[in-house]
Amino acid sequence: MKLWLDTANIEEIREIDRWGVLAGVTTNPSLAAKEGVEFEALIKEIAAEVDGPVSAEVVSGRRESMVEEGLKLSQIAPNVVVKVPVVPEGFAAVRDLAGRGVNTNMTLCFSPAQAILAAQAGATYVSPFLGRVDDISNDGIGLLSEIVEIYRVQGYRTLVLAASLRHPQHVVDSAKAGADVATMPCAVFRALVKHPLTDNGLRRFMEDWESYQASLGHPAARGGDRA
Ligand code: G3P
């Protein structure tokens, strides 16, 4: 399962990219709006920063205009993936875009039936929104598992992108369920690495190392740059 960031903020992307594990980025109109800069310039900057797919969403409502907008977005950079909602015009637009070799991500998926339609339309990715399903007291991971199972049984090639993840357990459960990609906000990415036993263990190792070096009359030679 690949790990992607769900953000349009370039500083967050740079921060996580330094970890060496970032494989892509998803954006949406709400995330782009927070940045307050021109959308195409923003996507261009993100696509240049990330070594992997970058989802950019269309905002048109009709098949023809979605396709036109999608083609324009896809020309910003080769790693741009055109995000399209799971609505009737959207399936048709994805079919057209796929026929022109454009990678697509069908978004706002809340049911296995919508995921079947996305696969039939030829989407590259489908994005079930787990957190929003949990928000209404339904089972987000259950939805993801059903989609993964259907795609396996049917041999669909569309990749399952677990989205709207709210905490590390969502990421772990998505991996267990067989998601191809998990996209998450920066706060969830930062939370993935946190464990008090790691922090305590590291502190003790450093203290012991420093005592050891001091007992030998050496200045601390290694580990001096550890936070
Ligand atoms: O990738 C989908 C995501 O942007 C939605 O997340 O937290 O707004 O439900 P959220």
Euclidean distance between CA atoms 3 and 24, whole angstroms: 7
The DSSP-derived string for 116-153 is HHHHHHT-SEEEEBHHHHHHTTS-HHHHHHHHHHHHHH
- For the CA of 55, the nearest atom of ligand 1: 1
- For the CA of 31, the nearest atom of ligand 1: 4
Which amino acid residue places its CA nearest to atom 3 of ligand 1? Answer: 164
Q: pLDDT digit string (tens) for 123-158? A: 999 999 999 999 999 999 999 999 999 999 999 999
Q: Determine which one of 2, 72, 83, 176 is catalytic.
A: 83
Which amino acid residue places its CA nearest to atom 6 of ligand 1? Answer: 164
* pLDDT for 225 beyond 70: no
Contact call for residues 179 and 1 (beta carbons, < 8 A): yes
* pLDDT for 223 beyond 80: no
Residues in the chain: 227
Residue range(s) of every CATH 3.20.20.70 domain in the chain? 2-192
Which amino acid residue places its CA nearest to atom 1 of ligand 1? Answer: 163
* Residue 170 CA to ligand 1 centre (angstroms): 13
Pocket of ligand 1 (CB under 6 A): 6, 26, 28, 127, 129, 131-132, 163-164, 183
Q: What is the pLDDT of residue 219?
A: 77
Find the distance separating the first CA and the last CA of the chain, reported in whole Å: 29
Give the CATH superfamily of 2-192: Aldolase class I (3.20.20.70)
Pocket probe for ligand 1: among 5, 164, 186, the residue whose CB has the most ligand atoms within 8 Å is: 164
Whether 44 is a known active-site residue: answer: no
Could you give the percent of the chain with pLDDT greater than 70? Answer: 96
